[in-house]
Chains A and B, each alone.
Chain A
């Protein structure tokens, strides 16, 4: 524990540009992939923001565009085939999409960093973990090899890898899945970034290990007052750690809400369907509720609301008109802070 205090005493570059606005703001982001079969519209106008110390969970199925959004924020999309025709990604008020590559490189890793899903394929198998962790310090801070290695050991201690000193020269395959994920977390934390994007950080792990890793992540987030974007499809994990939730479907945000409100009163039929399809104790022996049909093909997104072919509430208007993400209010019109839904019939869904 002593190492933690020592490290956090180092002045961080956090106070620069503190203006009370959100840490990261994504505005009307569009991402397309140009393929031989046509244009895949992966992200179609996403808006969200994260404040320091806050956890935003982005919930969605595969192909909903949640990971592509994250990659656009990090600036690690392959362009081409990807293209960002429209939108802004503001980090501390500055639009990162108009920055030069060099400026972005300075933000990436130092101010915003990312934890990937599959630690085994994200780590380089022919370099020792100590070398890979130390790379952050060598490249961004110009430390010597020896200093970088000392810092790498400190980091491994901080993410509670036992016998860090002895294991710093081990290779990724010598670690278990949970330990590898800790190394990924250590790497993301190395330069004490302001924002961490975790893309399905525990999906490949067992529940017992998942609990360990999520606890560690939450603890470190509290300690450094970091913003966290947690991308997942697991409604259980989201309920455990998130402050607010954005639900994505076919490249758009269909509902946004603080965590407690979303689980209690979903305002979008898709969210409701997801929540209802969780097996519950009192429904044992009955059929599970299932959302009928399949997620849409992004080459041919249905006209109107993308969810309309699967929606139990769909009417004619849903097939022609794309619903905007509108603020959700109480029955008497009083405001529900932080809530919005993109459904023509959100009133019926939440109040009905």
Chain B
């Protein structure tokens, strides 16, 4: 295992504070202090502003020349409030997993800011960054590949303590790991077993225990239940809800299963091709969607009620998601939208409360990036 000091080394050119002088150290102290400060329930804990991530497309072997960029995330803004669950939905390739990686600081953002308790984590380094990393943890999609098959469960869950020894002193770790196993509903005696001895649902619990190890404030869940069987999904979702109450966590819950997202989320953001199409409370999004993409997405979800199949109106989108390397001009959804007009090709719609709903207290008055936003209930349509 690498020494903790090496672990948080920053890429060259990103150091914004010279640690040699005293002023820099003091600044870092202030940053750490800000990060350690608790946030009241309902206050924003994470603020994302105009976040962008472009992956360069290069040509040539020796002299690489950039010929374009895949705009995986292209201007995403949202807030995460303390104690809430923000669901993010969208088709594959819309950039939701890239957002997760950016929030974890696993990828360097091309532009934009991520404020964690007021500190921009894209610019932090050293101790302050390490403190942020402790507080934002992740649960991955595939419980079969996200656990090292050569490490025991105890080593997997205890590994975060090697990097952050202040959380659990050395002699105390085994007990702490057993406690965590108990919290996620596994037998604490399993500490010396290997991942292959567990089923998919149990492995996902191990992944969750690892995420909880450092007492984080935010957990980013990237499709945490989509690899699990139906009967096991419900168990894991229940566990996550219980842990949220118990440890006062904030979740970002990324998934493509819209019914699970609705169940667990307080607010939901819908992404399309690297941008946020619509964001609002779960009721606003599911019962009063105003963006055509959200409406199409919701109407495509099969409803587990055979009586509904004759009466339901379904919006079937034609074609595929355009390439993020060369997105359509104006509104990105216009190539598949049935409402598209000339304005959509020339003017980029901003994510804001639509003009016609402004000032009303109708549930349709939530942020939606469409020139022709109008309410349409597709879930209950008879």
Contact = CB atoms under 8 A, between A and B. Distances in A.
Interface of A: 61-62, 162, 176-179, 206-212, 214-215, 233-240, 242, 259-260, 263, 273-275, 277-279, 281, 283-284, 287-292, 294-295
B238 A208 contact: no
B302 A236 contact: yes
Question: Which secondary structure characterizes the binding site on chain B?
Answer: helix
Contacts of A289: 234
B230 A208 contact: no
A290 B305 contact: no
B229 A240 contact: no
Given A61-B231, A242-B306, A291-B231, 4 more contacts: A239-B303, A284-B263, A290-B234, A294-B232
A207 B306 contact: no
A290 B301 CA distance: 22
Contacts of B231: 61, 273-274, 277, 290-291, 295
B259 A207 contact: no
A209 B301 CA distance: 10
Nearest to A179: B320
Interface string B286-317: 10000000001100111111111100001011
A206 B306 contact: no
Contact of A287 (B199, B238, B302, B320): B238
Contacts of B229: 61-62, 233, 295
11 contacts: A61-B231, A207-B258, A209-B320, A212-B318, A236-B259, A239-B309, A240-B309, A277-B230, A277-B231, A284-B263, A288-B238
Nearest to B265: A284
Nearest to A270: B231
B262 A275 contact: no
Interface string B214-244: 0000000000000001111111011001000
B182 interface: no
Given A206-B256, A290-B238, A259 B306 contact: yes
Interface of B: 91-92, 199, 201-202, 229-235, 237-238, 241, 256, 258-260, 262-263, 282, 286, 296-297, 300-309, 314, 316-320
Given A260-B306, A279-B259, A291 B234 contact: yes
A261 B320 CA distance: 36
Contact of B304 (A207, A210, A275, A283): A275
B312 to A, nearest CB: 9
Contacts of A238: 304
B320 A178 contact: yes
Nearest to A283: B263
B306 A278 contact: no
Contacts of A260: 306-307
B320 A176 contact: yes
B234 A236 contact: no
A36 B233 CA distance: 31
Contacts of B308: 239
A259 B232 CA distance: 24
B309 to A, nearest CB: 5
Nearest to A279: B263
A259 to B, nearest CB: 5
Given A240-B309, A284-B262, A263 B201 contact: no
Contacts of A206: 91-92, 256
Nearest to A62: B229
Contacts of B305: 239, 263
B306 A236 contact: no
Given A288-B263, A290-B238, A277 B233 contact: yes
B303 A277 contact: no
Contact of A211 (B233, B300, B304): B300
B91 A208 contact: yes
Contacts of A239: 302-306, 308-309
A279 B307 CA distance: 18
Given A260-B306, A275-B304, A294-B199, A235 B230 contact: yes
Contacts of B286: 281
Leading 3 A-B pairs by shortest Cβ distance: A236-B302, A279-B263, A290-B234
Given A206-B256, A207-B300, A274 B230 contact: yes
A272 to B, nearest CB: 12
Contact of A207 (B199, B260, B297): B297
Contacts of B316: 208, 211-212, 215
Contacts of A212: 316-318
Given A278-B259, A279-B259, A233 B238 contact: no
Given A215-B316, A277-B230, A278-B259, A208 B303 contact: no
Nearest to B263: A279
Instruction: From A233, A273, A275, A288, name the one whose CB has the most chain B CB atoms within 10 angstroms.
Output: A288
Nearest to B242: A287
B259 A263 contact: no
A56 B91 CA distance: 29
A268 to B, nearest CB: 13
- Most B CB contacts (10 A, CB to CB) among A62, A210, A237, A259 go to A62
B303 A233 contact: no
A162 B335 CA distance: 15
Contacts of A234: 302
Contact of A208 (B241, B260, B297): B297
A255 to B, nearest CB: 15
Given A274-B231, A277-B234, A288-B238, A208 B300 contact: yes
